[in-house]
């Protein structure tokens, strides 16, 4: 008899090879375990022990246990579907866990699942959970597995089996009359799962390949505690409330009009002033940082895009060409070639490098109709673009400075939490190994100096250079991709960019492409969701709303206050409607105006104002001077 040694915490047992972890835990008197792990690998209690190993039992309290439970729920979902629609009519794709639950991709012959169906399915799932079927695990030879799933008509499973590499264990899991190809791990029985809810159903390509059939993906969320589940549902509600598309409409910021065209943003007056404020801030910052602002056309000759390589690599994302005097022109999908043209407009000396050209450049890209989304994904948007052209010696300094600049700007806008990703050389890269090495080193050093945590995405860079991406975390924890700092070894070659070095010879400069907001449209979307529409004072389209208790009696005083505040550069609106004061206050609140000024008899007599802050509540009375000072101070501090 072959034996193996299994260490469980401090305990150690010698058991027959093939004994399951469940049996071992039982023999040690460990109760309530729902799985195990060895190193970072998760195991279930059905796992037969094949070699000496050290394991840790997993209990509900362990975060990894969620993974097992959710995985089991995806099987319970699959079983429920089979029970309802028939074992032979339901074919299973894959059913993995997600960050908050699970999904299963399925095909139900002759039926498309609706959200009403989900209620039924969920009910059946609860029944399966209720009945607490023990879950079994079985290892099969490849041939056996193929036969089993072929017999069941599970063509997708057969495809997966054929993809499994030689030598890997093929296992099936099941409960009751249900069996599924699965690597596991799973909890011991269908009753040992947490609270769950099916959320929605959507299409998903088999294997994520648009040329393959589309399956129906059923999403569910699952947590151990009901409270956590409810928190998650509340999070969805919160996200819905913060949806920038809804806020954009309510606050009259922007418009996307079918008649104008999908994915094309129209900025309404209030959105426009917000955008102007952001852009003015951006320009001022860039000038202080030594950037030179430029403007470039919205279209460019096809030849430009041919040289840049866009026509070879980016054409599917570009708007169709237009013809003028036998020449083709394209709407620009990027600003880079124009900035290169500026660089090349004269001979450059190493003495003038780094050259930093910045532009709020509006670009147009063809995005597939199904992916458009409010301000976040559009067909015309404004990049807060810049190109930095420098010598190899300057690269490191340039990157560090750029990253710090980006972080400084994002902090000014109220973001504190960042996640940085460095993407390195992919397989099909151009450029010399030395170039890549220098660039990647610069990126890493810069991030390390900044003190920000980063993740490496090995091989995740573009073919033309490595990059840093900065994602910002919003008020409810979501990450948004904004800043990017990206090397480009391609364009300097293609456009034959040069500078004259101290040796009086021509050299090829490094070029770095970077954006801080990414796109103004998208960034405004992120800002709105982050602040739930209650923008900081300095960005608010209307900073102060003035209400006269009686428009007749106090209207004139209100107008004087308005004129004086406006004179100090404060964005102010007057509401002289004949309505209840409280109704007008409510209106201002709903419009998320940071400060409401009320003037009535009392204020008229004393020459003061009654101030109400959206955040602070009623602030009582103060003089116009004090109020103005308060506002200007807050605006200056970007509060």
Partner RNA sequence: GCCGGCGUAGCUCAGGGGCAGAGCGAGGCACUCGUAAUGCCUAGGCCGUGGGUUCAAAUCCCACCGCCGGCUCCA
Instruction: List residues binding RNA (CB under 7 A).
Output: 112, 114, 200-205, 208-210, 214, 216-217, 245, 249, 256, 258, 262-263, 308-310, 313-314, 317, 334, 336, 367-374, 462-464, 490, 549-550, 552, 577-583, 585-586, 589-590, 596, 598-603, 610, 612, 618, 621
Q: Which of 82, 242, 336, 612 is catalytic?
A: 336
Residue (189 or 216) nearer to RNA, CB: 216
Q: Distance between CA 163 and CA 94 in Å, rounded?
A: 13
**CB burial of residue 435 (10 Å; 0-12, 13-18, 19+):** buried
As measured in angstroms, the least distance from the Cβ of 106 to RNA is 11
As measured in angstroms, the least distance from the Cβ of 342 to RNA is 17
Q: Distance between CA 531 and CA 300 in Å, rounded?
A: 38
Q: Distance between CA 311 and CA 321 in Å, rounded?
A: 11
**CB burial of residue 272 (10 Å; 0-12, 13-18, 19+):** middle
Cross-strand pairs, 372: none
Describe the strand order of the beta sheet including 608-613 as a list of residue ranges. 572-575, 544-548, 595-599, 608-613, 617-623
DSSP 270: H
Q: Among 550, 599, 553, which residue's Cα sits nearest to residue 572?
A: 599
Residue (18 or 203) nearer to RNA, CB: 203
Q: Which of 387, 425, 545, 584 is catalytic?
A: 387
Q: Among 361, 456, 471, 356, which residue's Cα sits nearest to residue 406?
A: 471
For residues 610 and 600, the answer to whether their CB atoms sit within 8 Å is yes
Please give the helix or strand (H or E) that residue 355 lies within, else none: strand 355-364
As measured in angstroms, the least distance from the Cβ of 584 to RNA is 8
241 catalytic? Reply is no
Q: Which of 44, 180, 385, 488 is catalytic?
A: 385
385 catalytic? Reply is yes
Residue (313 or 476) nearer to RNA, CB: 313
Packing angle of the helix pair 551-567, 624-636 (nearest 10 deg): 40
387 catalytic? Reply is yes
Residue (404 or 585) nearer to RNA, CB: 585
As measured in angstroms, the least distance from the Cβ of 210 to RNA is 4
Residue (36 or 599) nearer to RNA, CB: 599
Residue (23 or 619) nearer to RNA, CB: 619
As measured in angstroms, the least distance from the Cβ of 620 to RNA is 8
As measured in angstroms, the least distance from the Cβ of 527 to RNA is 18
Residue (484 or 628) nearer to RNA, CB: 484
Packing angle of the helix pair 142-151, 155-163 (nearest 10 deg): 170
Residue (39 or 208) nearer to RNA, CB: 208
What are the distances in angstroms from CA 121 to CA 81, 89, 126, 179, 190?
Answer: 6, 15, 9, 18, 15
**For the chain, the helix, strand and coil percentages under 3-state DSSP, each to the nearest 5:** 40, 30, 30
As measured in angstroms, the least distance from the Cβ of 608 to RNA is 9
Q: Distance between CA 151 and CA 157 in Å, rounded?
A: 11
Please state whether beta strands 136-140 and 292-293 pair in parallel, antiparallel, or not at all (unpaired): unpaired
DSSP 637: T
Q: Distance between CA 588 and CA 598 in Å, rounded?
A: 12
As measured in angstroms, the least distance from the Cβ of 330 to RNA is 13
565 is written with which tokens? 């505040």
Longest C-alpha distance within the chain, in Å? 102
User: Position of tokens 């948004």?
Assistant: 480
| C-alpha of 606 from chain center | 52
Q: Distance between CA 124 and CA 198 in Å, rounded?
A: 12
As measured in angstroms, the least distance from the Cβ of 383 to RNA is 12
Positions marked catalytic? 336, 365, 383, 385, 387, 467, 513
């Amino acid at each position: 008899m072959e034996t193996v040694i299994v260490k469980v915490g401090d305990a150690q047992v010698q058991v027959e090879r093939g004994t399951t972890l469940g049996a071992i835990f039982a023999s040690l008197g460990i109760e309530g375990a729902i799985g195990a792990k060895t190193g970072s690998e998760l195991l279930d209690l059905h796992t037969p022990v094949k070699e000496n190993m050290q394991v840790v039992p997993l209990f509900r309290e362990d975060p990894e246990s969620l993974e097992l439970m959710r995985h089991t729920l995806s099987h319970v979902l699959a079983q429920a579907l089979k029970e309802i629609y028939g074992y032979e009519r339901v074919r299973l794709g894959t059913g993995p866990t997600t960050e908050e639950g699970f999904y299963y991709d399925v095909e139900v012959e002759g039926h498309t699942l609706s959200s009403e169906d989900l209620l039924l399915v969920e009910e059946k799932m609860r029944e399966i959970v209720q009945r607490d079927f023990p879950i079994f695990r079985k290892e099969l030879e490849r041939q056996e597995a193929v036969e089993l799933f072929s017999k069941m008509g599970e063509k997708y499973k057969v495809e997966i089996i054929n993809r499994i590499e030689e030598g890997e264990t093929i296992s099936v899991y099941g409960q009751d009359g249900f069996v599924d190809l699965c690597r596991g791990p799973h909890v011991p029985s269908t009753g040992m799962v947490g609270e769950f809810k099916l959320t929605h159903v959507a299409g998903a390509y088999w294997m994520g390949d648009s040329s393959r059939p589309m399956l129906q993906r059923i999403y569910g969320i699952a947590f151990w505690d009901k409270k956590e589940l409810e928190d998650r549902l509340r999070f969805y509600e919160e996200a819905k409330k913060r949806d920038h598309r809804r806020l954009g409409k309510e606050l009259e910021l922007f418009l996307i009009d079918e008649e104008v065209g999908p994915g094309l943003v129209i900025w309404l007056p209030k959105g426009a002033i917000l955008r102007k404020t952001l852009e003015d801030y951006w320009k001022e910052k860039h000038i202080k940082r030594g950037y030179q602002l430029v403007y470039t056309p919205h279209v460019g000759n096809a030849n430009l895009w041919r040289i840049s390589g866009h026509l070879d690599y980016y054409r599917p994302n570009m708007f169709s060409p237009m013809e003028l005097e036998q020449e083709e022109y394209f709407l620009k999908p990027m600003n880079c070639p124009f900035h290169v043209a500026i660089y090349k407009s004269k001979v450059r000396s190493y003495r003038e490098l780094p050259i930093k050209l910045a532009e709020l450049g509006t670009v147009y890209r063809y995005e597939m109709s199904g992916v458009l989304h409010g301000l976040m994904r559009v067909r015309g948007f404004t990049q807060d673009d810049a190109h930095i052209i420098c010598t190899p010696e300057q690269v490191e300094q340039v990157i560090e400075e750029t990253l710090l600049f980006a972080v400084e700007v994002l902090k000014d806008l109220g973001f504190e939490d960042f996640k940085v990703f460095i993407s390195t050389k992919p397989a099909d890269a151009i450029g010399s190994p030395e170039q890549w090495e220098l660039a990647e080193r610069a990126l890493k050093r810069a991030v390390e100096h900044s003190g920000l945590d980063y993740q490496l995405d090995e091989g995740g860079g573009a073919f033309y250079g490595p990059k840093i991406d900065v994602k910002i975390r919003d008020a409810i924890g979501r990450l948004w991709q904004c800043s990017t700092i990206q090397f480009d070894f391609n364009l300097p070659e293609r456009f034959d960019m040069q500078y004259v070095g101290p040796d009086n010879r021509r050299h090829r400069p490094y070029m770095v492409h970077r954006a801080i907001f990414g796109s103004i449209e998208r960034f405004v979307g992120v800002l709105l969701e982050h602040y739930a529409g209650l923008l900081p004072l300095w960005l608010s389209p209307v900073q102060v709303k003035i209400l006269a208790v009686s428009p007749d009696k106090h209207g004139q005083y209100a107008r004087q206050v308005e004129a004086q505040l406006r004179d100090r550069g404060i964005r102010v609106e007057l509401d002289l409607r004949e309505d209840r004061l409280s109704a007008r206050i409510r209106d201002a609140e709903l419009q998320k105006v940071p400060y409401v000024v009320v003037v009535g008899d009392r204020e008229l007599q004393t020459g003061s104002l009654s101030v109400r802050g959206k955040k602070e509540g009623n602030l009582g009375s103060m003089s116009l001077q004090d109020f103005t000072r308060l506002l200007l101070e807050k605006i200056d501090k970007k509060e």
